[in-house]
């Protein structure tokens, strides 16, 4: 079977943070599949057919890509950030496993990108200086009790915690509960950052503490970073936000 | 103070995976600071002064960069992968906090890059499909007992675990002990991948299980990825390694 799928991480909003590899592959595809805003915005030659879909139909979208590749097309499946982090790569491989054996003979490649968590960290300083974990706060794909247990274990481990999907219209209360939960396991002065729309014109960063953190600071475009005992803020001259970084060494609580 | 520091993530070995932003900044710096092989290899205009240093002198190197920036230079501090993940960004901010107040007025920016863990994941399939953690296995900056405890908590949380610095000449036994330790907390068939020199000409990937994993497969250039209960392998036609991915949904053990 000669079809091909390139699962492409577009990087954060700033196109200067998209890799040349991603840009090259976008020039070679015949079809683009993905969440509407990404598929519509991305630069691609005129002959490329754009197949936009809704945010919640990853499995269907992945099957569509696989079917087109089976028919000999070169399908680009696009995600913001990195395609392997809470994005389309897993959804495609899930469908390969469920689908006909011939799908296993397709040429499927994943083109990595600068993920949202790395872009957010860079905008803040160096909050990921030690060991860290990356979690989705959505309870669409896992029970909420599993989310809470993971947060506790991550805090007990001393990981910095990066939260994707902290809040949406359909999930308005989860972040508030998660922050309350974490206050039991980390010091109240632990730094917390809300990094919104990093790399886009409306980029905004807010740094506070787990004690003061207000879930209303987050929306669907926000990544939330929760420090650990080794996290520090460096105060700067007025008009500048502090730098948020984490010591490379483990420190006693 | 008009000096400037750009802490630059060069991305993995493949230059097509370096962002245009990193490439642009490399053309603007007056000085380059970093681990010798990175500083020597990176493309930069002829007038740029290259200050190579050894692998183990991050604090000294960071102070040197800050002193040069204080004298008005534009210093590029380079790291492979992403500069914020077990690389130079934290070392620089640590020295800012310890140094004179004037260092807080410097213009310090972090340019994110495709980290080794994202490049390794892309080469394997989609192993980071669910929640995951990223740890350094080095016990240079934290006690070994802390490493073991974090591994246990990460496994109990159901995180996929990415291990940086799994092995070096000075740390030959740690990875073997870590793998033995993890066998108590994850099923024996859990997939484990050794991703070596990703993006470089000598790139090599090996996929096995936690039961069969042999620490001798790792060296200083290897990233080790340990799956979770939701991780799967997709067998493919002979001559192809299986795809390693993790379901987006949490599954019961």
CATH number assigned to the domain comprising residue A84: 3.40.1010.10
Tokens linked to A70: 């089976």
Whether B251 is in a domain gets the answer no
Whether A252 is in a domain gets the answer no
CB of B128 within 8 Å of a chain A CB? The answer is yes
Phi and psi at residue B68, to the nearest 5°? -65, -40
Tokens linked to B131: 């929640």
Task: State the pLDDT confidence band at B238, using cuts at 50, 70 and 90.
Answer: confident
Same domain, B110 and B184: no
Mutate to test the interface with B, among A66, A90, A127 (most CBs of B within 10 A): A90
Whether B182 is in a domain gets the answer yes
The tens digit of pLDDT for each residue in B66-77 reads 999 999 999 999
CA distance A170 to A163: 17
CA distance A142 to A152: 16
User: A residues 161-180 near B, CB within 8 Å?
Assistant: none
Closest of B106, B95, B83, B62 to residue A128, by C-alpha: B83
| Contact call for residues A163 and A191 (beta carbons, < 8 A) | no
Q: What is the pLDDT of residue B199?
A: 87
Same domain, B33 and B64: yes
Instruction: Inspect the interface and report whether the beta carbons of A114 and B82 lie closer than 8 Å.
Output: yes
Is the four-CA dihedral B14, B20, B24, B25 of positive or negative sign?
A: negative
Same domain, B17 and B66: yes
Phi and psi at residue A39, to the nearest 5°? -65, -35
Q: Which residue range(s) make up the domain with A142?
A: 117-246
What contacts A72, CB < 8 A, 6 or more positions away? A2, A3
Say which residue the tokens 């730098």 belong to. A243
- Of chain B, the percentage scoring pLDDT greater than 90 comes to 92
Chain A residues touching B58 at Cβ < 8 A:
248
Tokens linked to B35: 């681990």
| Contact call for residues A25 and A38 (beta carbons, < 8 A) | no
Closest of A67, A76, A89, A19 to residue A47, by C-alpha: A76
First and final C-alpha spacing in chain A: 57
Task: State the pLDDT confidence band at B252, using cuts at 50, 70 and 90.
Answer: low
Instruction: Inspect the interface and report whether the beta carbons of B159 and A104 lie closer than 8 Å.
Output: no
CATH number assigned to the domain comprising residue B233: 3.30.950.10
Instruction: Inspect the interface and report whether the beta carbons of A94 and B248 lie closer than 8 Å.
Output: yes
Instruction: Inspect the interface and report whether the beta carbons of B89 and A134 lie closer than 8 Å.
Output: no
| ipTM score assigned to the predicted complex | 0.97
Q: What is the pLDDT of residue A34?
A: 95
Number of domains in chain A: 2
Instruction: Inspect the interface and report whether the beta carbons of B131 and A128 lie closer than 8 Å.
Output: no
The tens digit of pLDDT for each residue in A2-30 reads 799 999 999 998 999 999 999 999 999 99
Same domain, A122 and A108: no
| Contact call for residues B121 and B128 (beta carbons, < 8 A) | yes
End residue of a domain, out of A83, A114, A145: A114
- A17-43 burial: b if 16+ Cβ within 10 Å, else e: bbbbbbbebbeebbbbbbbeebbeebe
Same domain, B33 and B125: no
End residue of a domain, out of B85, B114, B143: B114
The tens digit of pLDDT for each residue in A98-147 reads 999 999 999 999 999 999 999 999 999 999 999 999 999 999 999 999 99
CA distance B61 to A4: 45
Same domain, A95 and A121: no
CA distance A125 to A247: 12
Instruction: Inspect the interface and report whether the beta carbons of A150 and B131 lie closer than 8 Å.
Output: yes
Q: Is the pLDDT of residue A251 over 80?
A: no
Same domain, B151 and B201: yes
Tokens linked to B212: 């069969």
Task: State the pLDDT confidence band at B128, using cuts at 50, 70 and 90.
Answer: very high
Phi and psi at residue A127, to the nearest 5°? -65, -20
Q: Is the pLDDT of residue A91 over 60?
A: yes
Mutate to test the interface with B, among A157, A160, A223, A226 (most CBs of B within 10 A): A157
H or E segment and range at residue A111: strand A107-111
Per DSSP (E only), the strands in chain B are: 4-9, 31-35, 49-53, 74-79, 107-111, 125-126, 132-136, 160-164, 191-196, 204-209, 222-226, 231-234, 243-246
Chain A residues touching B90 at Cβ < 8 A:
126, 129-130, 245-248
Going by their DSSP bridges, the two strands B204-209 and B49-53 should be labelled as: unpaired
Nearest Cβ partner for B153 among A85, A130, A153? A153
Whether B252 is in a domain gets the answer no
How near does any CA of chain A get to the CA of B157, in Å?
5
Angle (CA) A41 A47 A52, round 5°: 40
Chain B residues touching A14 at Cβ < 8 A:
21
Going by their DSSP bridges, the two strands B31-35 and B49-53 should be labelled as: parallel
Q: What 8-state DSSP symbol labels residue B121?
A: H
Per DSSP (E only), the strands in A137-181 are: 160-164
Whether B167 is in a domain gets the answer yes
CB of A233 within 8 Å of a chain B CB? The answer is no
Chain B residues touching A19 at Cβ < 8 A:
11, 16-19, 114
Query: Where would I find the H helices in B12-77?
Result: 20-26, 36-41, 58-70
User: A residues 49-108 near B, CB within 8 Å?
Assistant: 58, 82-86, 89-94, 96-97, 104-105, 108
Q: Is the pLDDT of residue B1 over 60?
A: no
Same domain, A122 and A110: no
Same domain, B123 and B242: yes
How near does any CA of chain A get to the CA of B56, in Å?
13
Average pLDDT score over residue span B89-101: 97
CB pairs under 8 A between A and B: 238
Chain A residues touching B18 at Cβ < 8 A:
19-20
Whether B253 is in a domain gets the answer no
Same domain, A96 and A131: no
Same domain, B76 and B131: no
Q: Is the pLDDT of residue B48 over 70?
A: yes
Question: Among A87-91, A219-223, B202-206, B249-253, whose mean pLDDT is lowest?
Answer: B249-253
| Contact call for residues B132 and B245 (beta carbons, < 8 A) | no
Cα-only R_g, chain B: 20
Same domain, A203 and A103: no
Whether A253 is in a domain gets the answer no
CB of B139 within 8 Å of a chain A CB? The answer is no
Whether A43 is in a domain gets the answer yes
Q: If you average pLDDT over every residue of chain A, what do you get?
A: 95
Average pLDDT score over residue span A74-95: 97
Average pLDDT score over residue span B165-187: 96
Question: Among B46-55, B144-153, B181-190, whose mean pLDDT is lowest?
Answer: B46-55
| Contact call for residues A5 and A94 (beta carbons, < 8 A) | no
End residue of a domain, out of B114, B147, B175: B114
């Amino acid at each position: 079977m000669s079809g091909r799928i390139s699962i492409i991480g577009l990087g954060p909003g700033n196109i200067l943070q998209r890799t040349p590899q991603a840009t090259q592959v976008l020039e070679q595809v015949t079809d683009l599949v993905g969440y509407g805003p990404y598929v519509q915005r991305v630069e691609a030659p005129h002959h490329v057919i754009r197949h936009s879909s809704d945010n919640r139909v990853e499995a269907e979208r992945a099957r569509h890509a696989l079917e087109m590749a089976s028919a000999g097309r070169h399908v680009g499946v696009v995600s913001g950030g990195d395609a392997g982090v809470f994005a389309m790569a897993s959804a495609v491989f899930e469908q390969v496993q469920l689908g006909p054996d011939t799908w296993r003979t397709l040429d499927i490649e994943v083109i990595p990108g600068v993920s949202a968590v790395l872009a957010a960290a860079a905008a803040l300083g160096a909050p990921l200086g030690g060991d860290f974990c990356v979690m989705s706060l959505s309870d669409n794909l896992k029970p909420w009790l599993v989310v809470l247990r993971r947060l506790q274990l991550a805090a007990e481990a001393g990981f910095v915690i990066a939260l994707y999907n902290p809040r949406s219209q359909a999930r308005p209360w989860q972040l508030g509960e998660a922050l309350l939960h974490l206050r039991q396991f980390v010091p109240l002065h632990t730094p917390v950052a809300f990094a919104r729309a990093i790399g886009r014109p409306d980029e905004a960063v807010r740094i506070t503490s787990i004690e003061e953190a207000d879930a209303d600071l987050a929306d669907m475009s926000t990544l939330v970073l929760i420090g650990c005992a080794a996290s520090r803020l460096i105060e700067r001259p007025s008009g500048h936000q502090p730098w948020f970084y984490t010591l490379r060494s483990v420190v006693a609580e």
